[in-house]
Amino acid sequence: MTDNALKAMSNGGITPLGYYLDEEQHLQIDEKKAPFVREIFQRYADGEMIKSIIDDMNARGVGITVRMKKKVGKKAYEKSLDYNNVRRMLSNRKYIGEYRFKDIVLENAIPPIIEKDLFEKVQKRIAVNTRAPAIHKAEDLYLLTTHLFCGKCKAMMIGESGKGKSGTVYHYYKCVNAKKGHSCDKKAIAKEKIESAVINAVMKKIMDDTLMEQLSYKLYDLQMQSNSILPALREQLSDVEKGIDNMLDAIQQGIVLESTKKRLSDLENRKKQLEIDIAQEEIKNPLLTREQIEFGLTRFRNLDISTQRGKQTLIDSFVNAIFLFDDYAVVTCNYKDGEEKITFEDIENSELGDYIKNKPEQKCSDLFAFGDPIGTRTRVTAVKGRCLRPLDHGAALLCGKTAPLYSKTKGIIP
């Protein structure tokens, strides 16, 4: 097996999607399936969730080939993609041409399917998602995971769900410290309310033409600063063109020497080389005009925010962090001075607020926060030997208050 590894030959196992084994047991690109691999990497890098990608790929009949050991009746078969398949695929360094076996690492030993820049972008997103608690459990449900933080203790707020006695599933965000160590008293908040309020706040900014224009100028300047090679080449080209003009002026004035001709020839050759270098750099790292950047920003207005992917793209592109306090939230966007305060009224009037808005008696001052969902905890307390039970936990969920207790002898105990 070590000898195989040194020759970059297969040592068994499942052949990665997008590859096939040739007669010499080397991995070669399967041109029919490699485009699916590139699509999976790009979609994940763009913010789409693994579950959504899997559902689409399986619907299109994309699967991995599983080769059984040579036994009678055992043949290779196609297996549908699942979460573990895709998760391992996104971290598989074979896709950038790297062969690994134990302590043997061979660079460029396998034909690469994925560019290294795209692969590293995917690894960064995986690292963020790995640090976020319970993201796999909530990845297709909770848009604000890794963005939403408790305003009291600054800890991350994570997605939770629970099923009520009627079978209704409740979704909400809860502070990690309040959930695990009980070191924070921040109440949970209904998922739909805070997500809708944040999306509405971001869409309001995107619809601001003045803001989009300002952002386009800032992004253009940032683009020029980040690419130092192209401006330097263009500056050199400008100097060379000035030198050529000076030489031509000297020739027109009758100053024709062997050194003048040689200098002019050298400058002409240098100009040609710089033009080639600039063209190659523009292809490798194309620079956008300020107008192109503004056009790209305004295209976010056309996102279909009725879909999970559209909402996630919007939030990941513009939102840096959200800090949730008792009666307001602060949304910070991915640009300087990009901060907006969402008040209690903003959240109340968000897209999914009709139910609570029409029931004023159920409002509270904690952004419609509530405790654990119905059925996830039974609160039974004994007072002077008498067993007490919650009077109406369901009503308490809607207003964020602890359910009152009921005693046959004392009635309702606040």
pLDDT at 381 over 50: no
Cross-strand pairs, 29: 19
For residue 122, what pLDDT is reported? 92
Q: Which two tokens stand for residue 68?
A: 């059984």
Residues 298-354 have pLDDT tens digits of 888 887 877 777 888 888 888 888 999 888 889 888 776 667 777 766 665 665 333
Over 50: is that where the pLDDT of 75 sits?
yes
pLDDT score for 118: 93
Residue 115 pLDDT > 90: yes
Percent helix, strand, coil in the chain, to 5, is 45, 20, 35
Half-sphere exposure of 196 (CA within 13 A, CB side): 19
pLDDT at 23 over 70: yes
- 404 or 274: which carries more pLDDT confidence? 274
Please report the DSSP string for 215-264 in residue order.
HHHHHHHHHHHH--HHHHHHHHHHHHHHHHHHHHHHHHTT---HHHHHHH
The whole-model pTM stands at 0.44
Q: How confident is the model at residue 349, as a pLDDT? A: 61
Q: Over the stretch 212-254, which tens digit does the pLDDT of each residue have?
A: 888 888 888 877 766 667 778 888 999 999 988 888 888 888 7
Token pair listed for 326:
């008792």
